[in-house]
Amino acid sequence: MSITNNEIAERLREIYQLMQLAGENRFRAIAFDRAAQTIESLNDDINDYIENDSLTDIKGIGDSIGEDIQSYAKTGKIEVLESLRERIPEGIIQWLDISGLGPKNIAKIHKQLGISELDELKEACEDGRVAGLDGLGEKSAQKILSSIEWMEQFDERCRLDEATEIAKPMYNFLKDRIGVEAIDVAGSLRRSKETIGDVDILIGADEQHIEDLFDAFVDHELVVEVLGRGDTKSSIRTKDGRQVDLRIVKPEQFPAALMYFTGSKEHNVVLRQRARERGLSLNEYGLFELDEEGNTNFDMPIDYSSETDIYKHLDLHFIFPELREDHGEIELFETHESIDLVENDDIRGVLHAHSTYSDGKFSIREMAEACIERGYEYLGLTDHSQTAAYAGGLSVDEIKQQWKEIDQINEEFAQNGTNFRILKGIESDILSDGNLDYEDEILEGFDFVIASVHNGLDMSRDKMMTRFRNAITKPYTDIIGHPTGRLLLQRDGSDLDMNELIELAAEHHTAIEINANPRRLDLDWRHGNKAQEVGLMSAINPDAHSKKGIDHISYGVRIARKAKFGSDRILNSKSATELMEWFQAKTKA
């Protein structure tokens, strides 16, 4: 039977989760997690490897996991997964999200108390049964109970923008305090993941300052609960319900600790293996020689003063934090000293923005002036098309009225010597058959067209792929907007073969946007390798419905960097003239 890359990745990741809870060998469990990640981001269709019996050609897929995938393709089942499902109740998987409750204690509570639901765990914490278990106690029970209550009130993860807004005041509060010799945000936030669990901050400071720094941290005005405090780490809960962890290490340990706590775990596994292959040991405390028995010789540290030095000892060039996902970056930076990644200062204009003509909060002039204040050179206005009546979609008469107003404002800017231009765009709905929302003679009048799906997101893969294929190949489609339609932590995106669509878009001179709205961040960064392979053009678009929304561009830049986009493949890093030439080349093709 034919399976999708995401489908098999989900099964392998489920095996990883259940193995953790079953107390299986940790390294065997991690192998399934890494295989899931590899297949999830694979540029090719997994079925091609299955049919050619070449699964082990994929890096990270060994014979055993290859056989599991073959079994799933033939029967819809994986023996090890079926066995784990029988042993591990589905309900306790959710327990992995409980702060301070690891797989070993989850297994203990489940086995000894015979419970498997979150409500049952909450009740067992309240009535003393959890406190009575060996190795737990009343303090642990109260921590578990507190974490459950927060889980019920807040999602366990938050968006990139939410985590940034939590980390910013904490970082600024701590960075200038006495004793802080080095400080940085670590974890998935430093890697610019689209959703974040805990916020991690790392400080390098001498021992005499640690107590005062932790005192200041736990007494911060945003703190509503201290989750734990030790010699090197303290954890708090903020008013927003988010956990922030502060770790303090010796200044000389800071680069290694920053590398370790930035992650990802998959990236770290590869680095540690490379270290061992070179007779070294890498951990959060530093880089050391191995002794004759292959153990870490802490008396033989290797000198370094930065992450760059550590990578150099591993025969690698410095790897940007955003790329540390074991997603091809190791091989890339074995040979490349650096690569061009787009930066905020590269963005010269704003594409994909709405005005009061549809569902925006500000007029065309107000949105243009907001762009000028931020130093941008142009605004690509893209109100909704006529099918989107719920969003005030524009009729043909309203389009002509808008064009006239844009011409008037542009003429005024020119007369005043203001080097700024408003481009006539539209966010045209992709209809169910893949056609755009206006006749060609209307579409021809726009400077550019963003084509987006806003309804029927749950179409079958076959129908949705046909819909997108038709839209991408239309002569007036310049950019595909938010391709999957996902809303992070709210709804999944449409079922699409993004690798095929990326190839098709590159072939037909069509860009696919990185929607910078932090609720979307769509195109997903995991498709960056495929986009790089075929030379896909993108645009970092805020989808701004207000002046404040323009500033979402910075989140899109972070995702673009994570997807390995350089400024040369970002449309709105071009000047207005260069951009218009690119758009015009589509209709001439």
pLDDT of residue 588 exceeding 60: no
CATH numbers and ranges of domains, the chain: 5-87 (1.10.150.110), 90-153 (1.10.150.20), 158-249 (3.30.460.10), 259-335 (3.30.210.10), 344-588 (3.20.20.140)
What is the tens place of the pLDDT at every residue in 110-142?
A: 889 989 888 899 999 999 999 999 888 898 898
How much is the pLDDT for 223? Answer: 93
pLDDT of residue 469 exceeding 60: yes
DSSP 496-514: --HHHHHHHHHHTT-EE-E
Q: From residue 505, how far is each of 179, 356, 410, 428, 511 by CA, in Å?
A: 53, 31, 31, 17, 6
Q: Which residues lie below 8 Å from residue 206, measured CB to CB, with a gap of 6+?
A: 179, 181, 250, 251
What is the tens place of the pLDDT at every residue in 251-275?
A: 999 999 999 999 999 999 999 999 9
Among 516, 518, 517, 525, CA closest to 557 = 516
What is the tens place of the pLDDT at every residue in 337-367?
A: 999 999 999 999 999 999 999 999 899 999 9
Q: Which residues lie below 8 Å from residue 22, measured CB to CB, with a gap of 6+?
A: 84, 87, 88, 107
Residue 240 confidence class, pLDDT cut points 50, 70, 90: confident
What is the tens place of the pLDDT at every residue in 176-218?
A: 999 999 999 999 999 999 999 999 999 999 999 999 999 999 9
Residue the block writes with tokens 């999602």 = 155
How much is the pLDDT for 294? Answer: 86
CB 385 within 8 A of CB 429: yes
Among 525, 526, 527, 517, CA closest to 553 = 517
Coil vs helix vs strand at 367: helix
Token duo for residue 345: 């200062």
Residue 589 confidence class, pLDDT cut points 50, 70, 90: low
| CA pair distance 137, 119, nearest whole angstrom | 19
Q: From residue 88, how far is each of 36, 82, 141, 253, 524 by CA, in Å?
A: 20, 10, 22, 40, 32
What is the tens place of the pLDDT at every residue in 16-60?
A: 888 888 888 878 888 898 888 788 777 788 998 998 889 998 888
Among 94, 577, 24, CA closest to 348 = 577
pLDDT of residue 431 exceeding 60: yes
